[in-house]
Structure 1
Amino acid sequence: MTVDVASEIVIHRPCPEVAAYVADPSHASEWYVNIKSVAWRTPPPVTVGSRVDFVAAFLGRRLAYTYEIVEFVPGERMVMRTAQGPFPMETTYTWQPVDAQRTRMTLRNRGEPAGFARVTAPMMAASVRRANRKDLANLKRLLEGP
């Protein structure tokens, strides 16, 4: 069973600002609840082929994985993919201007669990959905400020 979860939010900041912040993986631990650390394997900034190591805590487990940027259209879309571990994942960010001061951001995670993780895919999808919503709410608070 494939896990495919998309969540979106409107952030009251111009699209170029939101996209530039999110497309820099160095910021991930600031707004993702579960990401504990980020380390570049290739020199920044992001380009197709960039590789970034993440350490996360998810469903009570420590996960270490490397994402590769497989698509990047600055200000519009970024796709990262990992093929390692029990749960290969693809994460897609898209940004669309609602107007000059607001951005609609979509966060999509999809993957094909392997082994025992395959049995837990429905529970995993629900957990990813909850985490994505929290992460987007954190991002909104962070970028909109007080």
Structure 2
Amino acid sequence: MVNVQTEMVINRPRTEVAEYAANPDNASQWYTNIHRAQRLTDGPIGIGSRVAFTAEFLGRELNYTYEFVEYVPGERLVMRTSQGPFPMQTTYTWTDDGGGTRMTLGNSGSPSGFSRLAGLFMAPMIRRETRKDLRKLKSVLEGQSA
């Protein structure tokens, strides 16, 4: 089992951080390894929304689809994928922190088969990548005019 959580304080209002981060149209702007996100369901983002992502991890291109399984705007988003050798769940939470927002980005999953051994090495890599992602999100949002 891999379970990695990283967090960062972003000096912007919680509603702004949450709206930007939860919108899959913005994913390639702040996720270092995501090159493309395509909505597979119409309408506003909510429970049951599906998004196809194309990312690079360990030098390989990965295509996967996340389904939004929990969404409380401005507070919490949980997305889950069940396909592939490494099913993942990604959780965003947003809380007020002074005048800014503390965003927590969590990734958990249970690798199967051969990937189980790879899981031992994946947690530090996932932690490093999610730290980069949150730093990039902070830079994007704090660089916007107040």
TM-score over 0.5 for the alignment?
A: yes
Q: Which residue of 2 aligns with 1:95?
A: 94
State which of 113, 116, 127 in structure 1 corresponds to 2:111: 113
Deviations 1:75-129 (A, max 9, x none): 0000000000010000000000113x30000000000011211111121111100
- 1:145 matched to 2:112? The reply is no
Alignment coverage as a number of residue pairs: 144
Aligned ranges for residues 1-146 of structure 1 at < 5 Å? 2-99=1-98, 101-145=99-143
State the identity %.
57
Q: TM-score, normalised by structure 1?
A: 0.96
Give, in angstroms, the shift of residue 43 of structure 1: 1.2
Q: Is the 8 A contact 1:88 1:112 kept in 2?
A: yes
Q: Is the 8 A contact 1:65 1:82 kept in 2?
A: yes
The one-letter code matched in structure 2 to 1:98 is D
Gap regions ≥5 residues in structure 1: none
1:134 alignment partner AA: K
Residue 45 of structure 1 deviates from its aligned partner by 1.9
Query: Which amino acid in 2 is paired with 1:68?
Result: E
The runs of 4+ residues in structure 1 deviating greater than 6 Å are none
Q: How large is the RMSD of aligned CA atoms in angstroms?
A: 0.9
Deviation at 1:44, TM superposition (A): 3.8
Which stretch of structure 1 is more off in the superposition, 130-139 or 115-124?
Answer: 115-124
